[in-house]
Structure 1
Amino acid sequence: MLKRSELPDVIPVFPLSGALLLPRARLPLHLFEPRYLAMLEDALKTPHRLIGMVQPDPNPSAKSAGDGPPLQKIGCAGRVTQFSETEDGRYMITLAGVSRFRVREEVTGFVPYRRAAVDWSGFDRDLTREEECDSDFDRGRFLSLLGQYFRAKSLDTEWESLEKAEDELLINSLSMMLAFEPEDKQALLEAPSLATRRETLITLLEYALRGGDENGMLQ
């Protein structure tokens, strides 16, 4: 586990709409664009091997300091823990979530990918051991709600694994894998605690089951 003092001031960032990485979770990525292959090569040369995942900011008033769309203010950095090359020169990598960060400003330079100066303060809990939900977490009710969602979306899953998963793994994995809108993914990322992320996730599940109708009722 990296310490705060080991986190760099500037990191490469990978803007990807709808992609969510959370601390202590794992995100598989498929890299094939030359700029992101260069980003991976450079990241592997550093002792921390960090890449920052951050979503583009859809706000029309947001401005970009570099090439490409403006960035959301909060992202999450992951450490490259696995990578493999395909026969056609593409890479499959796995990022292990380390800590969220705030984008201070984009950094220009002679590299084809984007980089940002970042601030790690305010996310101390990300660098600690896994977080547990509070005593208000009704796991049975949550799994029942999740079952309704999966049936409504015709999704399959290994229920035995879900039922056995620790609170943090359960909440964070679902937050990352379920097909929510980018702004909803950002809200899950920015949740200050696992308990607030759980409540946000429940709200999104209930909203989806109402068919997006704020005035509807969950059946």
Structure 2
Amino acid sequence: MHVGNARYVKREDLPETVPVFPLTGALLLPGGQLPLNIFEPRYLAMFDAALAGDRLIGIVQPSLLEAGEPAEGPRLPLSTVGCIGRITSFAETGDGRYITSISGVCRFRLLNEIGQGHPYRTFKIAPFMADLSAEDDESAVDRVELLRVFRAYLDANKLEADWESVERAGNRTLVNSLSMMSPFGPAEKQALLEAPDLKTRAETLIAITEILLARDFGDSDTILQ
């Protein structure tokens, strides 16, 4: 996989450990992009270190409680699965902040925390190597059903889309882009992140959207016709 100016193919291309950026409600998937506004001193230090090194950080949500709400606290527990991102865009604002864009490389599982004396947290990780090969069967995605539900959601919320771009997008780009831009809560976004393959992620996205439509607009069968 090419991300920015780097190429990630084998395990040796990825670090054994990554600094992690806990971010509630954020979803980064391989190939996706996540804009970030960095202002906390500990995370400014994290980005300084990453820019001086391999430019890789881990995006991970705080662990979710039974009600689906994120945990709280200075050393809060984290969800076990996140996504490695490469800093592919970076700008200083002049008032102490960084405006950055992170491009998804591959998902990872947290193994154990490594104490390195930094103000931010670093973990040993197990990368999802299959994410680098992009061998998901895109044809297994029910594109017709996905677009039907997407259109129903837009219509129900009186929103519009660039349908020419949607039609041009491949199934992987379509599924991952819709997942990342979805207005779902932390628990739903974590489920989309942890989906084992593209087909399952698409099915999860469809199911969550149908539930949202039924909850907010009544009879989902009528809306989705």
Structure 1: tracts of 5 or more residues without a match: none
**TM-score, structure 2 as length reference:** 0.86
Q: Is the 8 A contact 2:146 2:202 kept in 1?
A: no
Higher alpha-carbon deviation: 138-147 or 123-132: 123-132
- Structure 2 SS opposite 1:110: coil
State which of 169, 188, 205 in structure 1 corresponds to 2:173: 169
Cα-to-partner distance string for 1:40-66 (whole Å, 9 max, x where unaligned): 0000111x3111000001226xxx9x9
**Correspondence 1:152 to 2:156:** yes
Question: Is this contact kept in 2: 1:24–1:130, CA < 8 A?
Answer: no
CA deviation profile, 1:96-125 (whole Å, cap 9, x unmatched)? 1111111111222321111111112xx222
Name the CA distance, whole Å, in 1 between partners of 2:113 and 2:219: 42
Supply the distance in 1 between the matched residues of 2:167 and 2:137 (Cα, whole angstroms).
15
Hey, what does 2:129 align to over in structure 1? 124
Match of 1:93 among 86, 94, 100: 100
Partner of 2:59: 53
With over 3 angstroms needed to count, the CA separation of the structure-2 counterparts of 1:130 and 1:19, relative to structure 1, is farther
Residues 1-219 of structure 1 aligned to structure 2 (within 5 Å): 1-2=7-8, 3-46=10-53, 48-59=54-65, 67-120=74-127, 123-129=128-134, 131-135=136-140, 137-211=141-215, 217-219=220-222
**Partner deviation per Cα, 1:143-163 (whole Å, 9 max, x = no partner):** 121111012223333222112
Give the Cα–Cα distance (whole angstroms) in 2 for the partners of residues 149 and 5 of structure 1. 42
In 1: Cα distance, 2:97 partner to 2:43 partner = 10
Q: How many Å separate the matches in 1 of 2:25 and 2:107?
A: 16
Query: Cα gap change, 1:149/1:96 in structure 2, threshold over 3 Å: closer, same or farther?
Result: same
Which amino acid in 2 is paired with 1:104? L
| Aligned-partner Cα distance in 1 for 2:117–2:123 | 14
Give the letter for the 1:190 counterpart. E
Work out whether residues 50 and 56 of structure 2, in 8 Å CA contact, stay in contact via their aligned partners in 1: yes
Equivalent position SS for 1:58: coil
Provide the aligned length of Structure 1 versus Structure 2: 210
The structural deviation recorded for 1:21 is 0.5
Q: C-alpha separation between the residues in 1 aligned to 2:142 and 2:108?
A: 30
Residue 176 of structure 1 aligns with an amino acid whose one-letter code is M
Q: CA deviation at 1:217?
A: 4.1
Work out the CA distance in 1 between the residues paired with 2:160 and 2:123. Answer: 38
Amino acid at match of 1:133: E
CA shift for structure 1 position 132:
4.2
- The separation in 2 between residues aligned to 1:148 and 1:102, in whole angstroms, is 35
Alpha carbons of 1:138 and 1:11: their partners in 2 closer, same or farther (altered >3 Å)? closer
Rounded Cα–Cα distance in structure 1 between residues aligned with 2:49 and 2:186:
28
* RMSD (Å) for aligned C-alpha atoms: 2.1
